[in-house]
Amino acid sequence: MIRQNELFRVVIIDDDEGFARTLHIFLEDSGADVRLFTDPEAGLQYIHANKFELLLLDLKMPKLDGHALLRAFREKNKETSIIIISATSDVSEAIQAIREGADEFVAKPIRDLEDFDVIVKKTIDKVRLKKELEAYRLHLEELVKERTSELLATNEMLVEEAKRRKKAELAIKKGSVNLMSAIELGKKHIAKELHDSISQRLVFSRMNLELGIKQSNTTNDYFSLALQNIDEISLEIKEMVKMLYPISLEKYSLEENIRSLVESFGKNTGITAQFYCSGEELNVGKDMKLHLFRIFQETLNNVAKHSRAQKVEVTLNFFFDSILGTIRDDGIGLKQFEEIDLSGTGFFSMKERVGEMNGKLTITSPLNSGVMVSFEVPL
Ligand SMILES: Nc1ncnc2c1ncn2[C@@H]1O[C@H](COP(=O)(O)OP(=O)(O)OP(=O)(O)O)[C@@H](O)[C@H]1O
Ligand SMILES: [Mg+2]
């Protein structure tokens, strides 16, 4: 970039020595660094080998074709300004020179040096402006390059971060699914133990006790109490087995299991429980059946534990490509979110189970109208 006080380099190529010297002195007085060549060939060599800001060129020189020189120089050098100084005042000559790359055309002899001064100054300003613009353009290009590479780097980082998060989410999901399956497996194991071993042994104990009473031909309150205790324990174990793992899931349809769940819920809690089912139960896999059963079971447990409801309605709808379930109670409804006990695992595991089946879970609690849990899972 040329500053105002920077030395301005001018080259004059003109074989008219007297005229050229006048220009030389005039320009040097204006503060320019001037090189004068009256021999066009020496001038030609110089201008191709050196840097300068302004070329004053005579077109009509005996040894050299001014037009050819102008064209060759302009082709290689776009920055330097060129003023043609020619003895001809032919307009077509001037137009040709401008077409060949000259910035200005001045006819010889120059009668008014002040006019010439204005032309030179204008040309100098043009050169400065051009250079400044070029410098700004380069600077802007540089900035754009820098910003682009910064953006690319940030973008890459974001993509990496998104990938990392996705991986972490998948690992967490896999972990929680594994954990859920492990818990289910543990529950199943305990339920089978209780059902197959302890329940059966209680049945035998009861039979033995009855046989003993019969054979000894005596009975008293202790015997009756023992029999009653055994019956109560058997019932409790049955309930525990159902809670731990619904063995009946393996034998009966989902509809039958939910119907029986709702019925025993009504009997055990005194809450009026209604069950409605529609559609045909097809293509419900083992895992899906257990997930759906657990969601109904947990939601009904919540109704029993938290709702203070009078009534609960349960629906199960089988569509050809999805299953829709709802449980609606008329109890006190959900508290403000901040007051909900988030330490519970009920809602959390329901969400996980529905997610595992790629379904959608909605829990709503309109003011004073209990809680409605609904979920839809694709088949
Ligand atoms: N039907 C309902 N009516 C009123 N409040 C409910 C109902 N269902 C759930 N809640 C509220 O939502 C909270 C969260 O339920 P969630 O099932 O996650 O946990 P929990 O039942 O307290 O514990 P857990 O299920 O682990 O035994 C409950 O503590 C209760 O405050
Ligand atoms: Mg719960």
Query: How sure is the predictor about 295, in pLDDT bands with cuts at 50, 70 and 90?
Result: very high
Atom of ligand 1 nearest to the CA of 348: 18
Rounded distance from Cα 341 to ligand 2 centre (Å): 10
List phi, psi (to 5°) of 220. Answer: -150, 180
Verify that 238 and 274 share a domain, yes or no: no
Query: What residue type is assigned to position 222 of the chain?
Result: Y
Give yes or no for residue 305 CB within 6 A of ligand 1: yes
User: Does residue 11 have a pLDDT over 60?
Assistant: yes
Asked whether residue 165 falls in the same domain as residue 213, the answer is: yes
The tens digit of pLDDT for each residue in 336-353 reads 655 556 566 788 888 888
Please count the structural domains in the chain.
3
Selection from 21-35, 123-137, 312-326 with the highest mean pLDDT? 312-326
* pLDDT bucket at 134, cuts 50 / 70 / 90: confident
- Atom of ligand 1 lying closest to residue 345 CA: 26
CB neighbour class for 29 (10 Å; exposed up to 12, middle 13-18, buried from 19): exposed
Distance 307 CA to ligand 1 centre (A): 9
Average pLDDT rounded to a whole number, residues 70-89: 87
Whether 206 and 317 share a structural domain: no
Tell the burial category of 9 from Cβ atoms under 10 Å away from its Cβ (0-12, 13-18, 19+): middle
Q: Is residue 281 part of a domain?
A: yes
- HSE value, Cβ hemisphere, 13 Å, CA-based, for 379: 15
> Domain range holding 56?
8-111
Other Cβ atoms within 10 Å of 178 Cβ, number:
10
Q: State how far the Cα of 241 lies from the Cα of 244, in Å rounded to an integer.
A: 5
d(CA 353, CA 180): 9
Rounded to whole angstroms, the Cα distance separating 293 from 299 reads: 10
Q: What is the pLDDT of residue 288?
A: 92
Q: Are residues 298 and 206 in the same domain?
A: no
Residue 372 near ligand 1, beta carbon < 6 Å: no
> How many C-beta neighbours within 10 Å does residue 225 have?
10
In contact, 371 and 329? CB cutoff 8 Å: yes
Question: Is 27 a pocket residue for ligand 1 (Cβ < 6 Å)?
Answer: no
Confidence tier at 3 by pLDDT (50, 70, 90): very low
Among residues 245, 270, 305, the one where a domain terminates is 245
Report the SS3 class of residue 321: coil
Query: What confidence tens digit (pLDDT) does each residue in 360-374 have?
Result: 999 988 777 899 999
Residues 80-107: b if buried by 16+ CB within 10 A, e if exposed: bbbbbbbeeeeeebbebbeebbbbbbbe
User: What ligand has the least distance to the C-alpha of 340?
Assistant: 1
Is the omega angle on the peptide bond into residue 246 within 30 degrees of 0, that is, cis?
Answer: no
Pair 106, 176 in one domain:
no
Pocket test for ligand 1, best of 294, 295, 302 (most atoms within 8 A of CB): 302
CATH at 46: 3.40.50.2300
Is residue 60 within 8 Å of 66, Cβ to Cβ? yes
pLDDT digits (tens, 9 = 90+) for 12-58: 999 888 888 988 998 888 888 999 999 888 998 999 999 998 999 99
Tell whether 138 is covered by a domain.
no
- Give the residue, by CA position, lying nearest to ligand 1 atom 31: 340
| CA 297 to ligand 2 center in whole angstroms | 9
Residue carrying structure tokens 């829709």: 324
Same domain, 104 and 40: yes
CA proximity to 47, closest of 25, 26, 76, 21: 76
Averaged confidence pLDDT in the chain: 86
- Residue 334 makes CB contacts below 8 A (sequence gap 6+) with 340, 363, 365, 371
326 lines ligand 1 (CB under 6 A): no
CB 339 near ligand 1, within 6 Å = no
326 CA → ligand 1 middle, Å: 16
What length is written for the chain? Answer: 379
Stronger pLDDT, 131 or 252, i.e. the higher one: 252
CA of 170 to the centre of ligand 2 (A): 26
- pLDDT value of residue 341: 60
Pair (105, 185) in one structural domain? no
Domain for residue 59, yes or no? yes
Cα–Cα separations (whole angstroms), residue 375 to 262, 266, 278, 325, 379: 17, 22, 15, 5, 13
Instruction: Tell me, in angstroms, the distance from the centre of ligand 2 to residue 375's CA.
Output: 16
Ligand 1 in reach of 105 Cβ (< 6 A): no
Residues 6+ apart with CB under 8 A from 184: 245, 290
Residues 352 and 257 in one domain: yes
From the CB of 351, is ligand 1 less than 6 Å away? no
Cβ 25 under 6 angstroms from ligand 1:
no
Residue 190, in any domain of the structure: yes
Q: Is the shortest distance between the CB of 342 and ligand 1 below 6 Å?
A: no
Domain assignment of residue 40, yes or no = yes
CB distance 307 to ligand 1 below 6 Å? yes
Question: Tokens 């019932």 label which residue?
Answer: 235
